[in-house]
């Protein structure tokens, strides 16, 4: 399930001086109206209740879903490249990439930007500016929401709760990852070698290694090869009856008798 939410840094508005009196007590972001604040609070529950009927994306608020649906309706479509945007302001920003006009230039490396806020973010690479400092330790951050997330290390606050169990997390992204890995049966990652499916890209990566890793240990009875010597010994015993089985005196299970240490470990597993 693809997750989409409003991840923009609401507290940083280089061009917007409108009053924002409504404060979110979870992440310290501020909003112009109470209605917008209430919509924002839904992003902290970890629940993505509004799903797109044309793709797999889910959203925390109905407003975000409505904006997303414009991508499918081609309501705000770029005439240069055909890209569809959520709204007209996004389209206006997008169109600037097709224009040679980039009025905001970095004074250090001369890289140019279409928006001043992008230049401000870029400039921090050169000057190392980190204005948001943690009062508990020596760490500092270039963005306020990075500091807000970091502070939960000290407070132990975990405001993002899973709607399907009692587990809580310090970041909303961790909630969504938890739901995909624990509560979902979807396995979107396919192995190109054998077709086996996995829940996460990391699990797929580990599995693919079994296909691509060197296999220097070859069986003298058949054409099978193995990455580890222990795999070869197990194969010789199971497929060619070469080797010994040892029975655990606690559970009566049989184990491959590679050496005394392994037998000891297998016994301890049974206790």
DSSP string, 232-249: HHHHHHHHH--S-EEE-T
Higher pLDDT, residue 184 or 108: 108
Phi and psi dihedrals of 46, rounded to 5? 80, 0
Place of tokens 């959520």: 86
pLDDT in tens, 215-229: 888 998 898 888 888
SS3 244: coil
Phi and psi dihedrals of 53, rounded to 5? -80, -10
pLDDT of 267 strictly over 60: no
Higher pLDDT, residue 22 or 145: 22
Instruction: Read off the pTM.
Output: 0.38
pLDDT confidence tier of residue 13, bands split at 50, 70 and 90: very low
Residue ranges and CATH numbers for the domains of the chain are 1-91 (3.30.160.60), 217-270 (3.30.160)
| Spatial CB neighbours of 228, under 8 Å, sequence gap ≥ 6 | 217
Contact criterion met (CB below 8 Å) for 257 and 242: no
């Amino acid at each position: 399930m693809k997750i989409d939410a409003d991840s923009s840094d609401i507290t940083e508005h280089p061009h917007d001086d409108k009053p924002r009196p409504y404060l979110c007590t979870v992440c310290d972001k501020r909003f112009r109206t109470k209605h917008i604040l209430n919509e924002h609070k839904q992003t902290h529950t970890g629940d993505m209740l509004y799903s797109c009927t044309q793709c797999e994306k889910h959203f925390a608020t109905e407003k975000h879903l409505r904006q997303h649906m414009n991508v499918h309706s081609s309501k705000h479509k770029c005439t240069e490249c055909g890209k569809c945007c959520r709204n007209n302001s996004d389209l206006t920003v997008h169109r600037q990439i097709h224009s040679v006009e980039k009025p905001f230039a970095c004074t250090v490396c001369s890289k140019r930007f279409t928006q001043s806020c992008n230049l401000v973010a870029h400039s921090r690479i050169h000057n190392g500016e980190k204005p948001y400092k943690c009062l508990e330790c020596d760490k500092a951050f270039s963005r306020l929401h990075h500091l807000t997330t970091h502070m939960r290390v000290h407070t132990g606050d975990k405001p993002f709760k899973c709607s399907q169990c009692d587990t809580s997390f310090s970041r909303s992204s961790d909630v969504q990852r938890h739901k995909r890995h624990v509560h979902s049966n979807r396995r979107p990652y396919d192995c190109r070698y054998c077709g086996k499916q996995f829940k996460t890209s990391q699990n797929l990566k580990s599995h693919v290694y079994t296909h691509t890793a060197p296999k220097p240990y070859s069986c003298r009875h058949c054409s099978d090869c193995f990455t580890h010597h222990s795999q070869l010994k197990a194969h010789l015993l199971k497929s060619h009856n070469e080797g010994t089985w040892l029975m655990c005196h606690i559970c009566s299970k049989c184990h491959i008798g590679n050496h005394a240490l392994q037998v000891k470990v297998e016994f301890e597993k049974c206790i």
